[in-house]
Structure formats: structure tokens, C-alpha cells
Amino acid sequence: MKKILYLSFVSIIVACSNNNQETKDPNDLSDSARAKLLEEKKQRLSQNETADNKIDPKNINWGEIRFTPFVPPYPELGSEGIAVIENKINSMISKYGMAGNVGNPAFVIIPAINLTSKNITATAPTMYANTYQVTFYTASLTDGTIFSSEDFSFKGVGESFLKSFINGIESTKIDEVKFKNLLSTGRDKAIKYYEANCENILQEAKNNASKKQFAEAILILKTIPKETSCYKSTGELIEKYFKMDLAINCNQILGQMKSELGKQSAVGGFNSQAMSYYALIPMDAPCYQEAQTVYGTYLTKLNPTAKQEWEKEEREFNLRKEKQQQDHTYNMTKAELESKTAIEGQTAILAKYKKDYEYEKLPWLRKLVHLGEWDPFDATSKINK
């Protein structure tokens, strides 16, 4: 009988740590071994998040509302539990609507977690059989405006409070109708928020640009919904800031131009991709003169017939571009570079928000997700005594 209980104990620990993990020898389940299993799981979560965050700039539909997970630092969850619920939120957003992972990080989806029942079994090993209620809020992180909310409940069983929560949140099936309603209501109210706060949002973009943070400025502008009147003010600003960003980072564009011309040496014929990079380098950019030299040197190496054909194609390329009948390759190259710049801006703004809008600095958020003395994630709360 003791042997059966012992083997059951080992199976439960391994299953909770990793459903796909091979069974470990009982003698290996020391504290260090368990810590290693937890670390391996955190690494897998991190790898999954990295894979999910691979963005193709060509496939982004800009001007749509998207919500970024913002999980308060619940002490009982730790980094592993927070990573699990962030992944759960991202998978639900992707499955139930608003797919894609580029948006203004000011618009967030926040989980407020409440322990509604707590049961510790008298079995060996001790198991935690808990019931949780999670209220998801969509909100503006910068001023605490709440757009929508929905409640969800689930149960979890595990050998610790953390494992009970993780097993529960990973296995639960979220009500699809309710979650869709959370996102659609949040989206509609966020659009109204843009209408009401247009000037402030545009000013935020201008403030970033004044600090030469052009990527951040472009991200703010490109994520303004197309349905809003505010959207009409974005085109000229995006064009202006994009040129300024190109001027600062022109060496990157020059390198891509050189690379395309290098390929062309072996292929022959007009290279619209190289010309697109060349045309995107602003005249006031530090590398403009070098680009002129590189381009001129390339032309001198062409034989007379090839040079004549190239110059003919170049004139047609420039004519299409100047008449707003933009060359397809130039148009796509410009759009892709704009998107890459905006993606860099999202990363920068997200890092800034994590610093400037920490949980402890947001009284409205503490009030929203904490339950005072009955907060189950507060070590001093009555429910944990």
C-alpha cells in the first residue's frame, strides 16, 4: 500500500510540472530537481511567447484596436504563473478576435483574480483544490478608463497554490460568447475614447517626435482606428516622421540598397528593389552622398546597352512614383519599412509603460484588482491565515 501511494505521489508531481515530461526516478525529485522542472517550463513558456511574437510587417492590418495583456504582479503567482496567464490571454485574443499582436500598448486587458473557495486535502501528498474567479477588464492604462469587463470561473487542483492555479487556467475552456463580447464592447468604447481624446493622442505622438523618438510616434499614429475622425490627421504626420527616422537610420537603408545592387551584378536588368531603397533615402540624410556615389559607381560598371536600358527603366520608375501611381515595389518597400519602424516603436513604448505605469504607481488599478484585507494574493490577508 505504501508503495502504491509513493508511486502516485511521484506521478502527480511530474504531471503537474509538465504533462509532456518523461517520468523521473523518485530519487531524483529533490528540491533542486523540482526547481529544474519549473525552470524548464518557464523556458518553454518564454519560447512559445517568442514564437507568437514573430511579426510579419507585410501582414499587419493597421488602424485596428488591439489589447495587450497587463498582469499585476500577484506575489503568489510569480513569474511562471504570470507568464501562463499572459499566454492564455494572448491565445484567447487570437482565437476569438482582434488577431495580431501590434497595437498601442496603452490599451490593455487586465485579469483581476479572486480566490472564491480554498480546499486543502488531507491526502498524501497534500493537494490544493481551489475555485477561482477572474474578471477581465479592457482599459486605457494611461488614465484608468474601463471599456468592458466579463467574469469567468474555473477550478484547479495541484500540490501547491501556484500549481493549482496553473493547472486550472491552462485546462479551463473560456466562454467564447462572453470573451467575444468583452473584446467587441471594449473595441467600440475604445474607438469612442479615441474620438474624445484625439488631440491628446496626437500630442503624445508629437511629443515623442520632438524627442527624436520617431518609431514611437509612428506607432501611436498608425494604431489610430480608421473609423475615427482622428485618423484623417495621421497621414501627413506619419510621412513626416518616417522621413525623419530614415534620415537618422539611413545607413540601414543604404546597406539594403548595396545588397540588392550586389545581387544585380550577377543577374542583370533593372532592379526596382534597389531603386526603391535608393529613392527612400532623404536628401538631408547623412548617408545621402554615399548613396549617390554607390549608385553612380554601379552605373559606370554597366556596359553601354545595359546602362541605356537601366536609365530608361529608371525614368519610368520615377515617373510612376512622382505621379502618385506609385511603383508597386517602391510602395510595398515603403509600407514594410514603415511597419518595421512602428513595430520597433511598440517595443519601446511597451518598455516605457512597464516602467512608468508600474502597478504600485496606479491607484485606480490597485483598487480595481485588490480586495483589501481579503485579497488572496496578499500575504497579510485574512484569507491566507
pLDDT tens digit string along 209-252?
999 999 899 889 988 888 888 998 898 999 899 889 888 888 88
CA 263 vs CA 168, 299, 320, 330, 364: distances in Å: 54, 14, 24, 18, 57
Please tell me which residue, 127 or 340, carries the higher pLDDT value: 127
Report the side by side order of strands in the sheet with 146-158: 68-69, 107-120, 128-140, 146-158
Does residue 31 belong to any structural domain of this protein?
yes
Does residue 5 belong to any structural domain of this protein?
yes
Please tell me which residue, 121 or 59, carries the higher pLDDT value: 121
Does residue 101 belong to any structural domain of this protein?
no
Which amino acid belongs to residue 302? L
Give dist(CA 251, CA 245) in Å, integer.
11
Give dist(CA 212, CA 248) in Å, integer.
9
Q: Which of 280, 304, 326 is a domain's end point?
A: 326
Tell whether omega for the bond before 105 is within 30 degrees of 0, i.e. cis: no
Q: Is the pLDDT of residue 129 over 80?
A: yes
Banded model confidence at residue 21, pLDDT cuts 50, 70, 90: very low
pLDDT of residue 332: 73
Averaged pLDDT for residues 189-205: 92
Name residue 139's beta-bridge partners: 108, 146
Does residue 47 belong to any structural domain of this protein?
yes
Give dist(CA 273, CA 248) in Å, integer.
21
Does residue 278 belong to any structural domain of this protein?
yes
Mean of per-residue pLDDT scores for the chain: 77
Is the Cα dihedral 345, 348, 354, 355 positive or negative?
A: negative
Q: How many domains does the chain have?
A: 2
Contact 152, 136 (CB under 8 A): yes
Percent of the chain whose predicted confidence (pLDDT) is above 90: 19
Does residue 273 belong to any structural domain of this protein?
yes
Give dist(CA 105, CA 70) in Å, integer.
9
Q: Which of 310, 326, 342 is a domain's end point?
A: 326
Q: Which of 299, 326, 353 is a domain's end point?
A: 326
Does residue 114 belong to any structural domain of this protein?
no
Question: pLDDT tens digits, residue range 51-101?
Answer: 444 555 555 556 678 888 888 888 778 888 889 998 888 888 887 656 555
pLDDT of residue 265: 59
Does residue 118 belong to any structural domain of this protein?
no
- Domain holding 317, by residue range, is 249-326
All cell numbers assigned to 190:
475604445
